[in-house]
Amino acid sequence: MTELILIRHGETDWNRELRFQGQVDVPLNATGLEQARRVAQRLLAERFGVEHLVCSDLLRTRQTAEPAAQALLPHLSLDAVADPGLREQNFGIVDGLRVQDVKTEHAEAWERWVRFEADYGMPGGETTRQFHTRVMDAVQRIAQQYAGKTVLVVTHGGVLDMVWRTAQGLGLDGPRQSDIPNAGLNRVRVQGGAIEVLHWADTRHLQDLPAQPVYDQTKLVVR
């Protein structure tokens, strides 16, 4: 059994603008940097027993992981634990665009996207099924590499959605059903390929910070 403490990266300006960030290397904004500091404080104070750290290789996750690495594993090099398998979904031609821009510039792709079909991806990007396979391969690889340990995993909202769906036995069609706040704390156990959720979307360490931007996929579904 391996315990994973899963953290979505802190806030970016593109989160505020409701842009598709995908695999574009966007930095944290001031709020995101404070969220990252709060995550490190909480992990240190509550002594979750973190023994290892793995993060996506994108800047916003590395910036989120850095305070925790300094507090918990001061001799760790983030270069050594950056895993491209934990990257956000590749959204192809719409990476970097605001939702309204996608609706205007890529209307047909947007109409397909909001059906939330497992085998559709934005042109030049990954389908949800391809993304899910990549993410779960990475999660199982980490669980096996650090079997019996507690691992801090800093990643992206889409990655956490894939973990949630797998743990709950949900399909890949349809919009996101779980809350996945920036810098929220999520704990799961991985054993024999199965995932058990212990805690999800815990933001007690962020309560006095500004309200987070919310991208609610359920409001976009074409019925």
In order, the DSSP letters of 195-212 are: EEEEEEEE-GGGTTSPPP
pLDDT computed for residue 128 by the predictor: 98
Tell me whether residue 9 is annotated as binding: yes
**Domain of 43, in residue numbers:** 2-207
Q: Does residue 219 form part of some domain? A: no
Tell me whether residue 13 is annotated as binding: yes
C-alpha pair distances (Å), 186 with each of 37, 45, 56, 67, 96: 17, 16, 16, 18, 27
| Catalytic residue (one of 88, 106, 126, 205) | 88
| Catalytic residue (one of 3, 9, 132, 156) | 9
Q: Does residue 102 form part of some domain? A: yes
Q: Does residue 215 form part of some domain? A: no
Q: In angstroms, what is the C-alpha Rg of the chain?
A: 17
pLDDT computed for residue 218 by the predictor: 81
pLDDT by 10s per residue, the chain, length 223? 999 999 999 999 999 999 999 999 999 999 999 999 999 999 999 989 999 999 999 999 999 999 999 999 999 999 999 999 999 999 999 999 999 999 999 999 999 999 999 999 999 999 999 999 999 999 999 999 999 999 999 999 999 999 999 999 999 999 999 999 999 999 999 998 899 999 999 999 999 999 998 877 887 875 5
Tell me whether residue 98 is annotated as binding: no
- CATH of residue 184: 3.40.50.1240
Work out how many domains the chain is built from and give that number.
1
pLDDT computed for residue 89 by the predictor: 98
Is the pTM above the cut of 0.85? Answer: yes
Establish whether 88 is a catalytic residue.
yes
Tell me whether residue 169 is annotated as binding: no
Q: Does residue 16 form part of some domain? A: yes
